[in-house]
Amino acid sequence: MLSINITMIIPLLVAACLPFLSKKKLPFHIGWFVLAVPIVLFVIISSYIPSIASGSTYLHTIEWIPAYGIHFTTYLDGLSLIFGLLITGIGSLVILYSIYYLSSKESLHSFYLYLLLFMTAMLGVVFSENLFVLYVFWELTSISSFLLIAFWYYRKGSRNGAQKALLITVSGGFSMLTGFIMLYSMTASTSIRDIIASIDQYVDHPLFVPALVLILIGAFTKSAQFPFHIWLPDAMEAPTPVSAYLHSATMVKAGLYLVARFTPIFGGEDLWFWLVSGVGLITMFWGSFRAIRQTDLKALLAFSTVSQLGLIMSLLGLGSIAYHLGVNENSVPFTLATFAALFHLMNHSTFKGALFMIVGIVDHELGTRDIRRLGGLISLMPITFTVALIGSFSMAGLPPFNGFLSKEMFFTAVLNIHQLDLFSLHTWGVLFPIIAWIGSTLTFVYCMIFVFRTFTGPYQAEKLEHEAHEAPIGMLISPVLLAMLVISIFFFPNLLGDYLITPAMQSIFPTFTPSFDLRQPISPWHGWNMEIWMTIGVIILGTLLYRSFRRWKGVYSLFSERWGFNALYENLLEQLETRSSSLTKFYMTGYLRDYLVYIFLFLIIVTGGIFFFTDAFSFDPSGDAPIRAYEWIIVIVMVIAGISILFAKSRVTAILLNSVLGYMIAVLFVLFRAPDLALTQLVVETISTVLFLLCYYFLPEWKKEKTTNRTKITNILISISVGSLFILVALAVNSGTLFETISKYFENAYELAGGKNIVNVILGDFRAFDTMLEVVVLFIAGIGVYSLIQRKVPKEEEKLEDQ
Amino acid sequence: MIKIMLLTALSLFGVAIAIALYRIIKGPSIPDRVIALDMIGVNLIAVIAVISIALKTKAFLEVILVIGILSFISTIAFSKFIERGVIIERKRNE
């Protein structure tokens, strides 16, 4: 049997072949070729079900970067099995659907390439056992989702949606990476199983809580939890198969997977419980509340996805209490919550996938998905209607559909919570069932809106682009299959529970097995208890709200778009852009003068600061030679010449004074017994004077720069401080000799190199390498000057020469 | 005795250079300044000669020669610049 590592790579390999296929004229839709991939993967992964259900797990390791402990390790247990089946199963249905949905005029090979890339990435996320490999695949899902959302890249909405999704999920990914690195630095292990085994020692570590929060931010951004949910409705610009696959069934569940996977690590913390279940409940309520108002069917489904993800997230949070209570009978109600989370996770994938496909069919056949233009399709599109009815009733939590079962379990979980005297739940715990109940009622309302506004009421033919008719059979296969699954899960829930969810529970609660029975029997009917009355209440109140929707629609005007998180996001982007550009414009003035000011200020602060704070400014004049009268005179002449340059009125004066400075330096060289330097200095000084004069002709009139007093004062201050800094540094350096000089060695120049002139021997023998490179510098300068003059002469210059 | 004489000479040459510098800075016309620079060159020759005697070395005699040549060249260059506006002329019709 193929190992999981190899299995995961199959989509990548097929994706690599697709561009070659696109060149050829295929006799069939390219999707048929691609369809084989998820089906094969589904079969391979399904073949593991019996052995996983009996409690075994599979671990495969391929070394990747062994020096850092990063291995391409896959771990197949109950939890990853569920996700693997969802990814490949729904993936096959979505690809089948997309074959009929996308016309051959689209760039199909890129579509399927992105989709296969996404499939590998998603399988990598759920099967990776190594933190950093998981992160790699996590980012690959973000990137491939970005590509898929912007599939119709010529639309502005697609580009904006893709950008938003990428920005939010990648920022979350970075925060998650930081959390992973913290975990790694705590436990010195990159393997999730090792970390789970050893985490007990690190609960009091200062990095434990930051790692928890950062990893949760990653999960929340990916799973569109409040307030990071804003990217999901905008991602609906993607083609519908993509929305069905990524934004309902798989990618948005990566965050849930992460939370479930990390529950054994962080589960016992009350912060974890409050964040996960609190944020989940808020998301559930807010998503269902906003979904009611949407007029676009896909936006409605997007918000409903947000809401359902919040529901699952809150259940995972409730389940983490079991870790706090430990392995005993008290924690049974809370392991039930996790069980419900996994069950609803699977249910949600089935009915939400079907609903998205239905919306796609409506959009494809009628040319619109605006709820105000639709109506009366019940008799025209009977199969579509049936599937929509099944999907939305399941979403609303009605029997005989699978959503009913998971909703009942959800109610049981939240009802259990407020009896618990833990995490200060006795005060706030009562809010849990109330919010959950209100959220479910709102869910019921939008489900009714979805199915009845679209399919009943008057048929408005004049508002539609195409005549309404039933979709082609190929398009209906996938949603019908999913709808059948929705019903069959209701009637045989324990099949799913025993074979898939119980092993997954074992991976979330590894310490609870084998002494503890994690299996929960699901019964479609559980007697007249509180949960069923809550459901009845949901139905009654929901119906009333749906009937009177027009009257309470005004509530939504209280929540203006201007105060939403979308506005915040857009404002943030805009402000970031304008602020950073004004900041850059503030200091990047384009004047060389200003940049020199920065450079010199930096020099003064850093050099001066270092000398000052290390007490390096100590002067010891005892070793200095006496200054003789003629040295004074020469130095004073130089000072006068140097200062006069600043006040020179004409350029020639400045050049003359400059050469005075140069000659005086030559004299100083003579005085300090450096004949070679003096010779060179004289020649170079003369040549540069001549060069100045050469340039002079082409320069404009010498004009005093019009500068304000402020810049003048700044310039004076900076030049004085740079000058004095250098004097001080030179004096400080001169007063301390740390070790003997090496010049003694060069005194044997004659014996070692056969030359009596030490300077020349050093230049030509001891350190000839420097000389060679300086020759090269002169050579480059010469060539540079030559090419500047010869090449690219502007036309004005030519005219000057012609005169 | 000779050392004091040499030092005096050096100081006096320094004063001469300072005076020439005054002419360079002040000099109402550019030829004044160029002549002053030339004078500084000549003074430098003398200064270096004196220094060579004081330091009892022949190492700086080349410097004297070079200054002689260079001060001549730079004076010529300045003069040509003042007269023609350019130092190296291009004769196009050759």
For A72, the enclosing helix (H) or strand (E) is strand A70-76
What is the C-alpha separation between A68 and A55, in angstroms, rounded?
31
Distance from CA of B79 to the nearest CA of A (A): 11
Six-digit token string for B89: 């002329």
- The whole-number pLDDT of residue A721 equals 92
- Cα atoms found within 13 Å of the Cα of residue A721, Cβ hemisphere only: 16
- Cα atoms found within 13 Å of the Cα of residue A18, Cβ hemisphere only: 26
- Confidence band for A171, pLDDT divided at 50, 70 and 90: very high
Residue to mutate among B4, B22, B60, B89, with most A CBs inside 10 A, is B60
Chain A residue numbers touching B24 (CB-CB < 8 A):
641, 653, 656-657, 660
What is the C-alpha separation between A506 and A514, in angstroms, rounded?
9
Candidates A291, A168, A267; CA nearest to A222 is: A168
- Binary contact (B11, A652; C-beta < 8 A): no
- The whole-number pLDDT of residue A800 equals 53
Give mean pLDDT, residues B61-87: 82
- The whole-number pLDDT of residue A474 equals 82
For residues A149 and A238, is the Cβ–Cβ distance under 8 A?
yes
- The whole-number pLDDT of residue A770 equals 93
Give mean pLDDT, residues A537-544: 88
What is the C-alpha separation between A498 and A511, in angstroms, rounded?
19
Q: A688 to chain B: nearest residue by CA?
A: B74
Phi-psi category of residue A373: left, alpha or beta, with phi > 0 → left and psi -120 to 50 → alpha: alpha
Give mean pLDDT, residues A391-411: 86
Distance from CA of B15 to the nearest CA of A (A): 7
- Confidence band for A575, pLDDT divided at 50, 70 and 90: very high
Q: What is the mean pLDDT of chain A?
A: 84
Q: Which residue type, as a one-letter code, is found at position A607?
A: T
Write the CA distances from A571 to A210, A563, A566, integer angstroms.
28, 11, 8
Distance from CA of B1 to the nearest CA of A (A): 17
> How many other C-beta atoms are found inside a 10 Å radius of the C-beta of residue A368?
18
Chain B residue numbers touching A688 (CB-CB < 8 A):
none
- The whole-number pLDDT of residue A775 equals 96
Write the residue in B47, B67, B74 that is nearest to A690 by C-beta. Answer: B74
Q: Which residue has the higher pLDDT, A622 or A440?
A: A440
Given a cut of 80, is residue A420 above it in pLDDT? no
Write the residue in B33, B60, B86 that is nearest to A670 by C-beta. Answer: B60
Q: How many residues does chain B have?
A: 94
- The whole-number pLDDT of residue B7 equals 86
For residues A176 and A144, is the Cβ–Cβ distance under 8 A?
no
Candidates A199, A337, A176, A319; CA nearest to A258 is: A176
For residues A638 and A657, is the Cβ–Cβ distance under 8 A?
no
Given a cut of 90, is residue A399 above it in pLDDT? no
What is the C-alpha separation between A362 and A454, in angstroms, rounded?
9
- The whole-number pLDDT of residue B94 equals 46
- Confidence band for A217, pLDDT divided at 50, 70 and 90: very high
- Confidence band for A147, pLDDT divided at 50, 70 and 90: very high
Q: How many helices (H) and strands (E) does chain B have?
A: 3, 0
Please, where are the H alpha helices in A24-69? 30-46, 49-53
What is the C-alpha separation between A34 and A578, in angstroms, rounded?
45
Residue to mutate among A652, A660, A676, A691, with most B CBs inside 10 A, is A660
Rg from Cα positions in chain B: 17
- Binary contact (A660, B7; C-beta < 8 A): no
Given a cut of 80, is residue A620 above it in pLDDT? no
- The whole-number pLDDT of residue A142 equals 92
- The whole-number pLDDT of residue A803 equals 44
Instruction: Give yes or no for B4 touching A (CB within 8 A).
Output: no
Instruction: Give yes or no for B65 touching A (CB within 8 A).
Output: no
- The whole-number pLDDT of residue B23 equals 87
Helices A332-366 and A402-417: angle between axes, nearest 10 degrees: 140
- Binary contact (A659, B51; C-beta < 8 A): no
Candidates A357, A83, A111, A321; CA nearest to A240 is: A357
Q: How many CB pairs under 8 A join A and B?
A: 108
pLDDT tens by residue, A686-706: 888 888 877 776 777 666 666
Supply the DSSP symbol for A130: B
Distance from CA of A599 to the nearest CA of B (A): 32
- Confidence band for A426, pLDDT divided at 50, 70 and 90: low
Instruction: Give yes or no for B42 touching A (CB within 8 A).
Output: no
Six-digit token string for A179: 């959390």
What is the C-alpha separation between B43 and B51, in angstroms, rounded?
12
Q: A678 to chain B: nearest residue by CA?
A: B63
Question: Residue holding tokens 């040319």?
Answer: A367
Interface pTM, i.e. ipTM: 0.74
Q: Which of A235-244, A467-476, A496-505, A560-569 has the highest mean pLDDT?
A: A235-244
Give mean pLDDT, residues A321-346: 81
Q: Which residue type, as a one-letter code, is found at position A439?
A: G
Give mean pLDDT, residues A51-76: 85
Supply the DSSP symbol for A450: I
- The whole-number pLDDT of residue A274 equals 86
Question: Residue holding tokens 């009268």?
Answer: A629
Candidates A229, A398, A200, A361; CA nearest to A299 is: A229
- Confidence band for A518, pLDDT divided at 50, 70 and 90: low
Candidates A93, A76, A72, A94; CA nearest to A84 is: A76
What is the C-alpha separation between A355 and A391, in angstroms, rounded?
6
Write the residue in B15, B44, B90 that is nearest to A663 by C-beta. Answer: B44
Instruction: Give yes or no for A678 touching B (CB within 8 A).
Output: yes
What is the C-alpha separation between B65 and B67, in angstroms, rounded?
5
Six-digit token string for A723: 């000058």
Backbone φ and ψ for A60, nearest 5 degrees, come out as -125, 135
Candidates A620, A434, A467; CA nearest to A534 is: A434
Chain B residue numbers touching A652 (CB-CB < 8 A):
30, 33, 78
What is the C-alpha separation between A15 and A112, in angstroms, rounded?
7
Six-digit token string for A203: 């609960």
Write the residue in A644, A671, A679 that is nearest to B51 by C-beta. Answer: A671
For A317, the enclosing helix (H) or strand (E) is helix A297-319
Six-digit token string for A10: 């199959």
Write the residue in B14, B37, B90 that is nearest to A633 by C-beta. Answer: B14
> Residues with Cβ < 8 Å from A194, sequence gap 6 or more?
A187
Q: A801 to chain B: nearest residue by CA?
A: B90
> Residues with Cβ < 8 Å from A59, sequence gap 6 or more?
A73, A74, A75, A76, A129
What is the C-alpha separation between A213 and A208, in angstroms, rounded?
9
pLDDT tens by residue, B21-51: 888 888 788 888 888 888 988 998 998 898 8
Given a cut of 80, is residue A28 above it in pLDDT? no
Instruction: Give yes or no for B39 touching A (CB within 8 A).
Output: no
- Cα atoms found within 13 Å of the Cα of residue A752, Cβ hemisphere only: 13
Given a cut of 80, is residue A114 above it in pLDDT? yes
Rounded to 5 degrees, what angle do the CA atoms A567, A572, A576 make?
150
- Confidence band for A425, pLDDT divided at 50, 70 and 90: low
- The whole-number pLDDT of residue A92 equals 92
Phi-psi category of residue A194: left, alpha or beta, with phi > 0 → left and psi -120 to 50 → alpha: alpha
Distance from CA of B2 to the nearest CA of A (A): 16
Q: What is the mean pLDDT of chain B?
A: 83
What is the C-alpha separation between A629 and A423, in angstroms, rounded?
88
Q: Which residue has the higher pLDDT, A55 or A154?
A: A154
Given a cut of 90, is residue A205 above it in pLDDT? no
Q: Which of A2-16, A402-416, A706-720, B31-45 has the highest mean pLDDT?
A: B31-45
- Which range (A10-14, A551-555, A610-614, A772-776) has the least confidence? A551-555
- The whole-number pLDDT of residue A514 equals 62
pTM: 0.80
Report CA A588 to chain centroid distance, whole Å: 29
Give mean pLDDT, residues A205-227: 89
What is the C-alpha separation between A516 and A509, in angstroms, rounded?
10
Given a cut of 80, is residue A429 above it in pLDDT? no
> Residues with Cβ < 8 Å from A692, sequence gap 6 or more?
A655, A658
- The whole-number pLDDT of residue A1 equals 47
Q: Which residue has the higher pLDDT, A701 or A43?
A: A43
Report CA A384 to chain centroid distance, whole Å: 38
DSSP structure string for A486-523: HHHHHHSHHHHIIIIIHHHHHHHSTTTTTTS-------
